Amino acid sequence: MSEVKTRFAPSPTGFMHIGNLRTALYAYLTAKSQGGKFILRIEDTDQDRKVDGAVQVIYDTLSIAGLRNDEGPDCGGPNGPYVQSERLDIYRKYAQQLVEQGDAYYCFCTKDRLAKLHEEQESPDFKGRHGYDGHCRHLPKAEVEALLAAGTPYVIRQKVPQDGVTAYHDVVFGDVSVSNSELQDIVLIKADGFPTYNFAHVIDDHLMEVTHVTRGSEYVAQTPAYILIYRAFGWEHPTYIHLPLIMGKDAEGNVSKLSKRHGSVSFQDMIEDGYLTEAIINYIALLGWNPKTDEEMFTLAELEKRFNPEAINKSPAIFDYEKLLWFNGQYIRKLSADEFYEKALPFIRQAVKNESIDMRKLAALLQQRLEKMTQIPAQLTFFDALPEYSNELYVNAKSKSTLESAPQALAKSIEVLEGLDEWTNEKLYYALKDVAAELGVKANAVMWAVRVAATGTLVTPGGATDILDILGKEESLNRLKNGLARF
């Protein structure tokens, strides 16, 4: 068997949608799981939709995600160029060959004629076949030559056989067959000389020795037309792996194609929203692929060994943001203390400007409680300055804290803590437990009162002694005294 080669061939039209990233990931894993190569190709023949900077977004996304391509415009390779707009002469050559063979033809239909044809076919009274009507399919050779000589604008269309069936086997969807009579004479070369996707990707996949094509399921029914192009050249077509749709679920439980109304749908947005790359890749790998075990946590290296495209489910995958959040929390806790500190520090700095605060202690406190990095600033708003708060915060049924017990707890805590020689979390914890014992109340009641006085909020990254330890003795006592003075 020849070496497995897959490709990711995005159009530079903007951000990297989750569906695009899954296509890239599955193509990458299909190659790497079989010791093959992964190619990057930029399909920029639709110049009207090209977005400045989009190519760099593609490079950056693949790099951050760890999907290293073996060939591509950024690293070269034996079958370049890997940008379609740099391959126009190649497409023209092969399109001309198809015309000479009788497998394609020049079409001189104007935009006005095609618009009128479309209008007629949209009529409820129209009974014929929709799509291009083959008007130029059988033009006499002399007429074609005269129109070409006169410089009449044209496109080149595929001449699809009008009878028979074209079939292929898809790894995900199984055997697929389409009657040739249902296929259109699609445009191969546009009037501006640029190829369409329908033609360019066939030429490129063959010349770049691609053995497996991974793409969205929207191409399942159109693939027979591509196979006819392969056959016209006498080429073997690649193995096809068409991926199921990714759906999103709204607050009401309605399911529809994943879009921005469901949440972040681009890789860049998810990174900015505080998700870790490893969590995103792990979760996306499971959007359609089943490892056939109960395992859920996979590094990219593990996926490279375990992935099998035969285990992709053809049913649409539901993107579950709560599940992604769970994955992200798991990966946050797997980080080393230094790794977490490096990732968390920019988010900590958004809320904490006080240089006297021990940022590493704060990071250690945060790591075990987070689901994503963007949750950090909201938990730290009280560190630089105590916010305004209501004394009602001192009331908590579960801890047995009341407006009557809180001032007693604060007064005794201040007395005991002022005499504390060693200001550590452990010493603080046992000191406050002693306060509770002396007052004859639950330790939780004292801890609650102290935490409210020290933070002025119920949303904190840790308990009372965690906060006191980080604030330091002087600031902590000032806040507790301020809390007591409020009664």
State yes or no: cis peptide before 81, omega within 30 of 0: yes
Residue 260 is among the residues annotated as catalytic for this protein: yes
Q: What is the CA radius of gyration of the chain?
A: 32
Give 280's Cβ-side CA count (13 Å radius).
26
Category of 193 on φ-ψ map: left (φ > 0), alpha (ψ -120 to 50) or beta: left
> Rounded to whole angstroms, what are the CA distances from 352 to 111, 315, 371?
62, 47, 20
Planar angle of CA 265, 266, 268, nearest 5 degrees: 140
Please state whether beta strands 212-216 and 239-243 pair in parallel, antiparallel, or not at all (unpaired): parallel
Catalytic residue among 93, 116, 260, 400: 260
Judge whether 352 and 360 are in contact, CB under 8 Å.
no
> Residues 6 or more apart from 180 whose CB is under 8 A from it?
160, 161, 162, 163, 164, 165, 166, 224, 228
Q: Cα–Cα distance between 131 and 186 in angstroms, integer?
A: 9
Greatest pairwise CA separation for the chain in angstroms: 109
Known catalytic residues are 260
